[in-house]
């Protein structure tokens, strides 16, 4: 393992496991630079955004933002090299008092320095850069501060399923934003008391590879006397035609295998079942439990670019000491290994924890993850060959 971020007193991290930090040459890696890691960000706390040169370790900033958190950062990501925008173009969220929500998304060409701002923050963006999905980050902050942005109250805080909030679809070329799916409409379409009767939230939402549909987790704020929350899994096209893939149960991290199939950690059928990895068909709703070896615990699961390998990082627990592990599944040979285990800092607030959030490079030759095994937040680089997953 090689730490690629500078030892300069700052803390470095990229963010979520399903966003792309590498450029096509696999010589540059996006990251956030912040001065602290021991508390939640406040509205005026700034994160510098930039690139690490993987050969020299030099960090070159290109922007800063006050719309960020420790789990997903500022939703910073790079566009595909073979797409219309090119991988020199990046997207991230910022704070903007002129927009309805107080937040916005910015698309920046790092070669020219030219930026354009959109009227809503990005929860996800299609690979061609033409469409953006937006949600209420203030509502997410009330639900899980590690995934939302501080400082702006949710105007629908007292409304369980508001008619004027939900999933917004933004045309990134014209800037036009429209409410595609309201919470009220989602609840009406898929009622399941008592969960649907409570305060609802869209948490993790992503386009499929071609960008013609998207998946989201619909969660209920915890009900008094209930441990945690439950999650419906819903897929929608761009016209707002929804399909429910599961009732309220345990649905956690996921990754689109292709335009139709979704890899997900789920209980799939009933809320009482244990965790397992499943493949779900977004067209038919068919659910297939992956064959063994199949982890019985939650991981941030993601396929390699060639779809042979699944890798994921797990949470501390089940072992002595505070450690985090990477788990690698070879789907061809049916073998699961634990190639990496590192120490981790147990934070004073759970939402500022440092998940490894393992990520593949475009070729599948490299991987990176965030770690606190040195006592600071750093970005670590691995080769696929080193962990036994050579393409």
Give the rounded percent of residues in the chain with a pLDDT score beyond 90: 90
- Whole-prediction pTM: 0.95
Asked if residue 187 lies in contact with residue 195, where contact means CB atoms within 8 angstroms, the answer is no
- Give the confidence band of 390 by pLDDT, cuts at 50, 70, 90: confident
Chain segment 42-61, per-residue pLDDT in tens: 999 999 999 999 999 999 99
Indicate whether 226 pLDDT > 90: no
**pLDDT for the residue 320:** 46
**pLDDT for the residue 391:** 66
Indicate whether 222 pLDDT > 50: yes
**pLDDT for the residue 254:** 97
Chain segment 1-17, per-residue pLDDT in tens: 899 999 999 999 999 99
Q: 47 pairs with which residues across the strands? A: 65
Chain segment 97-107, per-residue pLDDT in tens: 999 999 999 99
**pLDDT for the residue 234:** 97
Q: 89 pairs with which residues across the strands? A: 109
Site of tokens 């285990």: 341
As a whole number, mean pLDDT of residues 120-141 equals 97
- Measured distance CA(342)–CA(374) in Å, rounded: 9
Chain segment 179-210, per-residue pLDDT in tens: 999 999 999 999 999 999 999 999 999 999 99
Nearest to 76 by CA among 39, 47, 114, 44: 47
Rounded to the nearest 10 degrees, how much is the dihedral formed by the CA atoms of 192, 302, 283, 173?
100
Indicate whether 126 pLDDT > 80: yes
Take residue 163 and report the two structure tokens written for it: 């008619």
Residues 6+ apart with CB under 8 A from 301: 253, 254, 255, 263, 264, 265, 277, 310, 311, 312
């Amino acid at each position: 393992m090689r730490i690629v971020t500078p030892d300069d007193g700052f803390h470095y991290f990229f963010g979520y496991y399903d966003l792309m930090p590498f450029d096509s040459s696999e010589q540059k890696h996006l990251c956030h630079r912040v001065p602290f890691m021991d508390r939640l960000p406040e509205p005026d706390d700034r994160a510098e955004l930039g690139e690490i040169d993987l050969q020299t370790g030099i960090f070159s900033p290109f922007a800063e933002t006050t719309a960020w958190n420790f789990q997903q950062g500022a939703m910073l990501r790079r566009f595909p090299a073979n797409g219309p925008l090119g991988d020199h173009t990046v997207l991230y969220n910022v704070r903007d008092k002129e927009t309805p929500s107080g937040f916005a998304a910015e698309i920046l060409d790092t070669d020219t320095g030219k930026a354009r701002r959109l009227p809503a923050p990005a929860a996800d963006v299609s690979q061609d850069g033409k469409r953006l999905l937006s949600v209420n980050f203030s509502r997410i902050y009330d639900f899980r501060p590690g995934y939302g942005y501080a400082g702006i109250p949710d105007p629908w805080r007292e409304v369980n399923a508001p008619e004027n909030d939900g999933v917004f679809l933004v045309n990134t070329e014209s800037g036009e934003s429209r409410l595609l799916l309201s919470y009220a409409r989602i609840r009406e379409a898929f009622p399941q008391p008592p969960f649907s009767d409570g305060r609802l939230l869209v948490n993790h939402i992503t386009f499929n590879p071609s960008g013609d549909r998207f998946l989201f987790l619909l969660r209920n704020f915890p009900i008094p006397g209930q441990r945690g929350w439950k999650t419906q899994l819903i897929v929608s096209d761009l016209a707002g035609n929804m399909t429910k893939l599961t009732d309220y149960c345990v649905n956690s991290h996921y990754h689109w295998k292709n335009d139709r199939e979704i890899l997900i950690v789920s209980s799939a059928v009933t809320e009482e079942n244990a965790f397992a990895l499943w493949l779900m068909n977004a067209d038919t709703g068919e659910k297939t439990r992956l064959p063994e070896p199949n982890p019985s615990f939650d991981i941030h699961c993601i396929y390699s670019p060639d779809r042979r390998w699944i890798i994921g990082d797990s949470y501390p627990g089940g072992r002595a000491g505070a450690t985090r592990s990477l788990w690698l599944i070879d789907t061809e040979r049916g073998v699961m290994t634990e190639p990496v285990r590192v120490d981790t800092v147990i934070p004073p607030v759970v939402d500022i924890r440092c998940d490894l959030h393992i990520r593949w490079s475009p070729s599948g030759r490299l991987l990176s993850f965030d770690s606190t095994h040195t006592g600071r937040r750093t970005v670590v680089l691995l080769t696929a060959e080193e962990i036994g997953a050579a393409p």
